[in-house]
Each structure stands twice: as structure tokens, then as C-alpha cells.
Structure 1
Amino acid sequence: MTDPAVIHCDQFLSHPPAVVWRALTTPELHARWWAAGDVRPVVGHRFSLDMGPWGEQPCEVVAVEPERLLRYSFAPSTLDTTITWRLEPEGTGTRLFLEHAGFDLDSPLGRTAFQGMGAGWPKVLDRLAAVLAEPSA
């Protein structure tokens, strides 16, 4: 059974896991495809992501398996959700799985965020693919 309050996306990226991992965990690259912030693959590391009109959103890394898994809390004081990035080697590339979980669909904010992010995440993953395709990545 699938939890209706969870967004699931996956995308094949024609780069090895080490390259995708670097894009997920290097602040300069992360800012180019999603949001600026001092993301680091260290359990307990606290950082904020600049979500533009939605402001700075606090995050805390809760799980790390280098080049395999990165999980962090996202907006614990408002949305209280969790974002999980899971990388699986696939041929010469990587299958990247995204899970954004914990939306409270009974609250107007939770419902609005779920709908917006559900539509937005595929576009974010497309931007990630585009950044990875650049020679400087």
C-alpha cells in the first residue's frame, strides 16, 4: 500500500553515483539545480535551504550512506517533512529515487505543499540532469 502523503519520483541519470552524489551534497552544485544552502553529508548537520518566496527552510541530515542515501528533515517547524535521496547504480549511470514524506494532508499548508511539490519535483530532477550534463559539473 502506498502512503498518499508521500511524493515518489525517480530518474535515470547517465552519470555514475559518485557524480550524482557530488551534485546532491556540494552546496555550489546544489544551488544550481534546486536551492542554495550549506548541505553536507554529515548526520546531525543543520542547514537552511533558500526556497525563494517561501523563505529559508531549516533542514537536518538524519541519515547518510555515501553515494547511496541522503535523508534530511525539511522545514520541521512548518511542514515537518523528510526528503530521502537514494542512488542505485544502473548500467553506466544512476537511478535516483526521491521520496518526500510526512505531509499533513489535513492542514491547508500541508495539502498545498504536497500538491505544489508533487508537480515541482519532476522539474527539479530535470534541472539536476541538465546541470550534470554541463561540462563544469
Structure 2
Amino acid sequence: MTGILTETRTVTVERELAHPPEKLWRALTQPHLIAEWLMNNDFAPVVGHRFSLRGEWGGVLDCEVLVVEPSKRLSYTWNHVHEDRAYNLTSVVTLTLTPTAKGTHLRMEQSGFLPEQKQAFHGARHGWQGFLAKLDTLVATLD
């Protein structure tokens, strides 16, 4: 018997940032900096580390670090359990940093949106634009 294959959708946001990958990496992996551009957290850049992201709306995301390649790639689960199961989200965020002549090409992918999760998908598309703009502003202030 074969399982039903469910097609998932991915939000992808790409930005060219005028900062070296090492500087961006700090903002992606240090908890006090992550809190400045994303959410309050107890993150550690260690594969298998479980952490929470706590949103201003009161929601909590349960996460686990999947990949840590310093100054190159970071990946973690991004899971939201909601009392209304229709709003549950099981996804993976992958941030890829590629050095460029002027800084870094940052690619953010959040994969795992089910077809019926249109509100979460569009919310993530909008939300990541804002998060990455805040990231760029924050990194510009770092030494």
C-alpha cells in the first residue's frame, strides 16, 4: 500500500546584503542578536539542539537545529502547534549565505506548507521580508 503524497509549498526570499558572511552568521546564530531581528529564543548553533522562538503575538515555535555550516548554511525546524489543527505548521527554515563581490547573497527557504495552509504561506512570505529587512539593519550596526 502506498501513502498519499502531499505536495508542499516553499517560501523563498533572496537578498543581496552589503555585509560579509561571517558578520551575518553572528546575527543568525547569537541568541541576543536573533531576538533583535526575529524573535526571543534559546538558540544554540549545535545540530540536534532544541529551542523555542517566542513571537510577540504570544505564540511559540518549537524548533530543532538540523544543519550548521559556519558562515555558509543554517537549517532548523519551524513547528507551530495550534489548538485548531488546521493551523498546525511543520516546516524547515534553511538560510544559505554565499559570498559576493559586495557582501553576501542570502537565500531563505521555508519549506513544508501544505496546499490548504494558504494563510500561513502568505504570512510567511510577508513576514520573512520584514525579518530580513530587520536583519540587514541590525548587521549594519555590528562591528
Return the TM-score normalized by structure 2: 0.85
Q: Distance in 1 between matches of 2:80 and 2:55?
A: 14
Q: Gapped runs of 5+ residues in structure 2? A: 1-6, 82-87
Q: Which has the larger strand fraction?
A: 2
Offset at 1:4?
6.8
Identify the match of residue 14 of structure 2 among 10, 17, 20: 10
Identify the match of residue 125 of structure 1 among 119, 132, 143: 132
- Does residue 90 (structure 1) correspond to residue 100 (structure 2)? The answer is yes
Q: Gapped runs of 5+ residues in structure 1? A: none
Q: Distance in 2 between matches of 1:111 and 1:45?
A: 29
Moved over 6 A (4+): none
Q: Distance in 2 between matches of 1:54 and 1:100?
A: 21
Identify the match of residue 121 of structure 2 among 93, 109, 114: 114
Across the aligned residues of Structure 1 and Structure 2, the Cα RMSD in angstroms comes to: 1.6
> How many equivalent pairs are there?
131
Return the TM-score normalized by structure 1: 0.88
Alignment map for 1:1-137 (pairs within 5 Å)? 5-75=9-79, 77=81, 78-106=88-116, 110-134=117-141, 136=142
- Structure 2 counterpart SS, 1:102: strand
Q: What CA deviation, in whole Å up to 9, does each residue of 1:74-130 have, x standing for no partner?
A: 116430100000000001411110000001122xxx221111111121111111111
CA contact (8 A) 2:8 2:111 kept: no
Percent identity, aligned pairs only, is: 38
Larger Rg: 2
Offset at 1:54?
4.9
